[in-house]
A and B are shown apart, each in its own frame.
Chain A
Amino acid sequence: MIAPQDRRIIRVEHLNLIPPPVTKQQGRMSERKGAYASTASDTNFRRKWDKEEYAEKARQRDAEEKERMQENEERLKTGKKPRKGAKKDVPTPTELMKLRDYDLELEKNLNKTIVVANPSGRGPGQPGFFCEKCNRTYRDTAAYLDHINSRAHLRMLGQKTQIERSTVEQVRERIAFLREQRREASKAKEFDFNKRLAEVKAKADAERAAKKAQKKAEKEKARMELLKDVTVQQDDDMAQMMGFAGFGSSKK
């Protein structure tokens, strides 16, 4: 049998919420060692810093900075401007500025509600438009388009900022191609139209025939019903009156 004063503890145990056992002796003033000398183990939840790792990072950073400074000194000697940040490995532009041959899909997520999958505040999966090449997020289409058209982005793609000069031949070819395409399109449309017309006609004919057959069947059925009724009734009346079973009509 559980004593009434123990009942509270048992209930808590059941919920896996065991409070630290409080005894009157622990709470006494005379046994405290002060806040800083506490041997309590309830600070284990705090994050442990890997000092070695961060020291290594700092060392690496210092080395890079030193290298940059040395390089800058050399650059200054040759009369060039010092480099401000770390050297980025951007491909040298080799091709001319190219037309985007894909749709940017700026309105893809318009009027949609999307859960932000990436809570870090950086990288892909953030609200807005993300440029994978340059690892940047832009809040609106205007900023995104400005970036996509910018020199920095083109450099990442390895493109120059000059466009190709079209020749007269290219223009002629393009016009001929578009002319042919348009002719094909109009031809296809015409063909489709006739075909569609025939299809519609066939469908309408079939429907009409089915309707007609159904109507005919219904009519026949009603006539038979009526005939049957009339003959049965007539037969009964006459038979009673004249005292025999029927006239033996050939009609059914």
Chain B
Amino acid sequence: MANTTVRGATAIHGQNPQFLVETVIRNRIYESLYWKERCFALTAATLIDRAIEMNAIGGVYGNNVPTEFICLLLKLLQIQPEKEILIEYLQADEFKYLRALAAMYIRMTFQAAEVYEILEPLLKDYRKLRLRDVGGYSLTYMDEFVDQLLHEERSLTLALSFWVALCLAQSLTLSF
């Protein structure tokens, strides 16, 4: 159905992948017009069309209104595409918001070592990204965003996996 996780999806960090987005935000997404109208029946291939239409990353803005970015992130969690597909997303370098989306998804769902291996090359991507949050739009950069993903436990109002963060922190301290 429109909001259920795809059949046969594997549990991530011991739970339904959609639960990685907190309940309050998730319910706001389910209610939002963008989700109902534009995200219905998206597949891993058709999701790219929506992703390249995006013009900002972000969690929620205004009065807890979900951004398109977070709606598509939840859609990814819902349909759970294969790892190869996500790598394809990352490699399509002219679509930077698609790349940001894939990076966020990988950080949320993959194991620490994989996250580090996959996301580290993105630290060389210095392109600008627009960030939409409660205060409006602001500017950030792809490397800054990826750095935040690698170091912090929260990003774009979403809790990232604490264990992955811990492992990442250890591996980072070990490697430096």
Contact = CB atoms under 8 A, between A and B. Distances in A.
Q: Do A and B bind each other?
A: yes
Interface of A: 97-100, 104, 106, 141-142, 145-146, 148-151, 161-166, 168, 170-175, 178-179, 182
Interface string B60-101: 000000000000000000010110110011001011000000
Interface in B1-58: 1-2, 4, 6-7, 31, 33, 36-37, 40-46, 48-49, 52
Contact of A145 (B36, B42, B43): B36
Contacts of B1: 149, 151, 161
B36 A171 contact: no
Interface of B: 1-2, 4, 6-7, 31, 33, 36-37, 40-46, 48-49, 52, 79, 81-82, 84-85, 88-89, 92, 94-95
Q: Residue among A97, A99, A164 with the most chain B CB within 10 A?
A: A99
Given A141-B33, A145-B36, A100 B92 contact: no
6 contacts: A104-B37, A145-B37, A163-B43, A168-B85, A168-B88, A178-B95
A8 to B, nearest CB: 69
A164 B81 CA distance: 11
Given A151-B1, A166-B85, A168-B85, A175 B92 contact: yes
A174 B36 contact: no
Nearest to B78: A163
Smallest CB-CB A-B distances: 6 pairs: A166-B44, A145-B36, A166-B45, A149-B2, A166-B43, A174-B45
Given A171-B45, A171-B88, A174-B48, A179 B40 contact: no
Contacts of B82: 168
Nearest to B46: A99
A149 B85 contact: no
Contact of B92 (A148, A161, A164, A179): A179
Q: Residue among B44, B45, B89 with the most chain A CB within 10 A?
A: B45
B94 A182 contact: yes
A166 B48 CA distance: 12
A165 B79 CA distance: 8
Contacts of A98: 41
Contacts of A141: 33
A168 B85 CA distance: 5
